[in-house]
Amino acid sequence: MPDSSKLHTLDSQLNLTERDQKVIWHPYTQMKNALPHIPIVRGEGVYVFDEDGKRYIDAVSSWWVNIHGHSHPYIAQRVAEQLNVLEHVIFAGFTHEPAVLLAERLLPILPGKQDKVFYTDNGSTAVEVALKMCLQYWDNKGTPKAKILAFKNAYHGDTFGAMSVSGRSIFTDAFNSLLFDVEFIDLPNENNISHLISHISNLKDTACFIFEPLILGSGGMLMYEAKYLDQLLSACKDAAILTIADEVMTGFGRTGTYFACEKLTNKPDIICLSKGLTGGTMPLGVTTCTKEIFEAFLSDDKLKTLYHGHSFTANPIACVASLASLDILLKSETLQNIKRVEAKHAVFLEEIKTHPKVKAIRQTGTIIAIEWETDNETSYLSNLRNLLYSYFLNKGIILRPLGNIIYILPPYVISDEDLDYIYAAIKSALEEV
């Protein structure tokens, strides 16, 4: 019998925020002095509504996952139907229509010649699988390689492998001594590209290069040009270094094309997807690879198997949410929305780029980032971040600054009026904060 004195009773005297405070440990949150967590009871389109009926524009797509708006009726309907047919089944030894169909529909629209889909649960695990595929690929080929190449300030997730290939930062600080060794290179630009290429061509023992194409998200929405990335991929190819495009954030229209790597001539060997995959409805991760990589695991030798899997691998409900999200994504109307958001951002960028408080401003597709002028070096922890966060919340806008960097990364269905409202709020913040 449970000790009833230890049971958390559902205290009707308390509101949701207070009940939360008693039992929940939130992500990325110093719980000692955390602001009260806002109780959201409903979502519709770009809006979420709190317990008191206050409306917030979800200008960051709920951590970059939501592409078609909240509680999308079509996705909801498809998910509900699937729930009555098959909620889940073990994916080793068994298969199901949603997983097969999603792979059949995804592979042809991915950049390059992606041949196989490996399912996991989220972006971090999609990255883990990609790294394992590369390391074991060389092992299976009989030419083991141990080194991995990544960008400084990269972010590839929070599990240990994904953390290892991410830039060292306050997020990794407590674990740095346990992270495996990775070589970090600068983002390419016109000045360093030839140096980077010759550096890569001299690398020995390097299994793979993992990168966020065109834009480093958590690292501060740092953007770089496709043509230089293209040259890095070409150098990797020449040096027999496999390439992993982490399109977890950039996938599904975020950068203006369905996938960021469409803008490249050289294509990656492996692609990681998650976030927008299910339209932001369910957790699901995908790692795709070329035939060449897949075939290196085919063997009579059991040790050449990719021994990786998760209990919820290829969850049918998440696969169906993805199929429904794809239906919406591939409509011409959605592409028009993406182009509309992109064009609106470009006009706003011109309007404020010379403002004295704007240290830098940059845009890739539907993402626009504004770096605030600040005299504080350790900007992520700066007070400015919290001031800005609260300022926009008070105006009914969810914007989560990365330190002194504000960015808008909205669901594509956001209206012109809502975008104008956010732009106006940023302009007034530039005067007031």
Ligand X SMILES: *Cc1c(COP(=O)(O)O)cnc(C)c1O
Q: Pick the catalytic residue: 145, 263, 267, 275?
A: 275
Q: Pick the catalytic residue: 47, 119, 137, 246?
A: 246
Instruction: For residue 307, count other CB atoms closer than 10 A to its CB.
Output: 9
Q: Which residues inside 179-218 make contact with ligand X, applying CB under 6 A? A: 212, 217
Smallest distance from the beta carbon of 22 to ligand X, in angstroms?
A: 26
Smallest distance from the beta carbon of 347 to ligand X, in angstroms?
A: 27
Q: Pick the catalytic residue: 3, 28, 52, 375?
A: 28
The DSSP call for residue 428 is H
421 is in an annotated binding site: no
Identify each DSSP E strand in 228-326 by its residue range. 242-246, 270-273, 285-289
Q: Which residues inside 100-129 make contact with ligand X, applying CB under 6 A? A: 122-124, 127
Active site residue 423: no
> Exactly one of 78, 145, 156, 254 binds ligand X (CB under 6 A); which one?
156
Q: Which residues inside 219-248 make contact with ligand X, applying CB under 6 A? A: 246, 248
Q: What distance lies between CA 278 and its chain's CA centroid?
A: 12
Smallest distance from the beta carbon of 226 to ligand X, in angstroms?
A: 16
Quickly list DSSP for 12-79: TTS-HHHHHHHH---TT--TTSPPPPP-EEEEEBTEEEETT--EEEETTHHHHT-SS-BT-HHHHHHH
Q: Which residues inside 245-284 make contact with ligand X, applying CB under 6 A? A: 246, 248-249, 274
Report the residue number, 124 or 281, with the smaller CB distance to ligand X.
Answer: 124
| Residues 190/191/195/196 CA torsion (nearest 10 deg) | -50
Smallest distance from the beta carbon of 141 to ligand X, in angstroms?
A: 27
Smallest distance from the beta carbon of 66 to ligand X, in angstroms?
A: 13
CA-wise closest residue to 129 among 212, 213, 68, 208:
208
Indicate the pairing of strand 183-185 with strand 206-211. unpaired
Report the residue number, 248 or 338, with the smaller CB distance to ligand X.
Answer: 248
Region of 241 on the Ramachandran plot (φ > 0 left; ψ -120 to 50 alpha; else beta): beta
CA-wise closest residue to 267 among 285, 291, 296:
291
For ligand X, the nearest residue by Cβ is 123
Report the residue number, 58 or 246, with the smaller CB distance to ligand X.
Answer: 246
Report the residue number, 124 or 325, with the smaller CB distance to ligand X.
Answer: 124
Report the residue number, 197 or 405, with the smaller CB distance to ligand X.
Answer: 405
Show the CA angle centred on residue 119, arms to residues 137 and 310, nearest 5°: 95
246 is in an annotated binding site: yes
400 is in an annotated binding site: yes
Quickly list DSSP for 286-301: EEEE-HHHHHTT-SSS
63 is in an annotated binding site: yes
- Count residues binding ligand X (CB under 6 A): 13
Interaction between residue 157 and ligand X (CB under 6 A)? yes
Instruction: Judge whether 202 and 187 are in contact, CB under 8 Å.
Output: no
Active site residue 228: no
Smallest distance from the beta carbon of 285 to ligand X, in angstroms?
A: 7
Give CA–CA dist 239/209, Å, rounded.
11
Q: Pick the catalytic residue: 56, 137, 155, 407?
A: 155
Report the residue number, 248 or 264, with the smaller CB distance to ligand X.
Answer: 248
155 is in an annotated binding site: yes
Instruction: Judge whether 253 and 335 are in contact, CB under 8 Å.
Output: yes
Q: Which residues pair with 70 in a beta bridge?
A: 45
275 is in an annotated binding site: yes
Contacts 24+ apart (CB under 8 A), 98-103: 98/314, 98/316, 98/317, 98/319, 98/320, 98/323, 99/314, 99/316, 99/319, 101/319, 101/323, 102/319, 102/322, 102/323, 102/326
Give CA–CA dist 80/85, Å, rounded.
9
CA-wise closest residue to 329 among 262, 280, 271:
280
CA-wise closest residue to 268 among 110, 396, 62, 418:
110
Smallest distance from the beta carbon of 411 to ligand X, in angstroms?
A: 16
Report the residue number, 123 or 268, with the smaller CB distance to ligand X.
Answer: 123
Active site residue 119: no
Please list the active-site residues: 28, 155, 246, 275
Q: Which positions touch ligand X (CB under 6 A)?
A: 122-124, 127, 155-157, 212, 217, 246, 248-249, 274
Binding region for substrate: 63, 155, 275, 309, 400
Binding region for pyridoxal 5'-phosphate: 123-124, 246, 310-311
